[in-house]
Structure 1
């Protein structure tokens, strides 16, 4: 059994969903966790309030209370790839995240994530990611070090003042001369089924990417991608929509059966550059990961 080193925080909603106790709310909030598991966690003192006092099985539901609990998994995988710090100052830290490592805890990962690794290696307990990358995507992630200035960096992403550059590899028709061509993709992306997948539907566009082919080697092509918006799986769906799904994508165009991670075949998507005006210093900042995706030799 692996238990998270730090508690997860949950704010009870303003509107009561029809429960009498905190326990009842946790059971309906997390339907994939057996009710007996929550009962045992509470009995073991692993659920508490903001002031440290323990939640009991009879604790009443009170709107907007903050609840803290420790996530548990039977067996947590260890990801055999290393992160690297690219830059840090008083306010932020930028790090390279390897393929397969989540940014924050989730699912079967409670301690093995980039945020917790960096907290351990730097000793900065206040370190918090201000944006996300998919677990299977590699590349640059920005963290806030100072809670007092954190909102400035969150706002950069919320107001699209961060210019992001990605690389991706896809298989194309070797007879097509794509190098130098550029595509602008706009469409509407919504949640699909299962819920961790997304899909494109008719309607007002909520996603926007600019994509350019920079190199071809046989059927393999290297693309430079600039997401203007930041919808979940946006670049993966936009590449698929152009007819070139990203190499080793297990979700698109068709969801593949769940298997253990194949570390020899990561998704060929890399968050390569972050560029912005620092909201505090007003200096132009540009962080670049030196690693490259390598085109495979194909016929």
Structure 2
């Protein structure tokens, strides 16, 4: 049974960081562990007050507002992530860029971006443990657990909103390196098969090409280096579907090395024998406009040792 605690009455003063945010979204973000239905119920009953008055959940907060949150029963927080764990400590050395607004991280392979599904913690929980004084740390986007490379984390809600708008307008440029089976056809510069996400009973997500029900998807490709054993390609996802690059490479007959979901067993075994034990998919570069300076930032994540080494063991064509 989950431990529960009762919170005291809270009085929260709204500053510029939260101005313009809907009351319900503000409460959902602040009241971790409280079911959404409970939050809406206490707002509807008038137990949540703004400037001592009853308020609707869609009300947009303004600088200087005071929000009264009534006592609530919440799930007790899980044990904090220990900063002594090597996986957590090592994240510090993976930070590519950091300022008062954001963090760009070279996410290691094998680490999920957040906890859940049996995982005690992921990147975001580990970063919160490393930055205990940070009021706000949220993922701007996601990477698969086995994919490494550039991952963007916002330190302010305004930064998160700004970059989400850039993602919506497709002005953020993300380029990945992938080692794929076979010889990629240089004429195959774009894959546009529509993709449909399915969730199995186990909770595992599997994505398939589906001409009828799939969502429009596009990935552009460029050959970086040909090898006797395969091809190193650069992939630029125009859309951001789940597992998009992995499925788009597989559906044209060039699955990514060591992909346990969409890969080719023979190619994976060949790469295993040469020392590659992880998915060869790496978010190499990330370009976006900095929300506060207005400068275009281009961050580059170096390949890890395993990805570097395998390239030296392949035969160039």
- Cα gap change, 1:54 to 1:10, in 2 (>3 Å): closer
Which consecutive unaligned segments of at least 5 residues does structure 1 have? 17-49, 56-67, 73-77, 256-261
Q: Quick check: 1:275 aligned with 2:294?
A: no
Which structure has the greater CA radius of gyration?
Answer: 2
Measure the CA separation in 1 of the matches of 2:70 and 2:283. Answer: 39
**TM-score, normalization by structure 2:** 0.64
User: Which is richer in helix?
Assistant: 2
2:193 to 187, 198, 208: 187
Q: Following TM superposition, by how much is the alpha carbon of 1:241 offset from its aligned partner in structure 2, in angstroms?
A: 1.2
Q: Which consecutive aligned stretches of 4+ in structure 1 deviate over 4 angstroms post-superposition?
A: 6-10, 13-16, 68-72, 78-81, 178-182
Structure 1 position 182, deviation (Å): 4.4
The residue aligned with 1:118 is 127
Post-superposition CA distance 1:126-152 (Å, at most 9, x none): 111111001111111101101243211
Shift of 1:290: 2.3
Within 2, Cα distance between the matches of 1:206 and 1:213? Answer: 24
> CA 1:182 to 1:69, structure 2 compared with 1: closer, same or farther past 3 Å?
farther
Contact 2:150 2:283 in 1 (8 A): yes
Query: How many residues are aligned here?
Result: 236
Alpha-carbon distance in structure 1 between the residues aligned to 2:283 and 2:255: 17
Q: Deviations over 1:77-107 (max 9, x none)?
A: x885943111112211111110010111121
Q: How does 1:241-280 map to 2 (within 5 A)?
A: 241-253=251-263, 265-280=277-292
Q: Following TM superposition, by how much is the alpha carbon of 1:291 offset from its aligned partner in structure 2, in angstroms?
A: 2.2
- Alignment partner for residue 171 of structure 1, among 167, 178, 181? 181
User: How many Å separate the matches in 1 of 2:253 and 2:138?
Assistant: 36
3-state DSSP class of the match of 1:240? helix
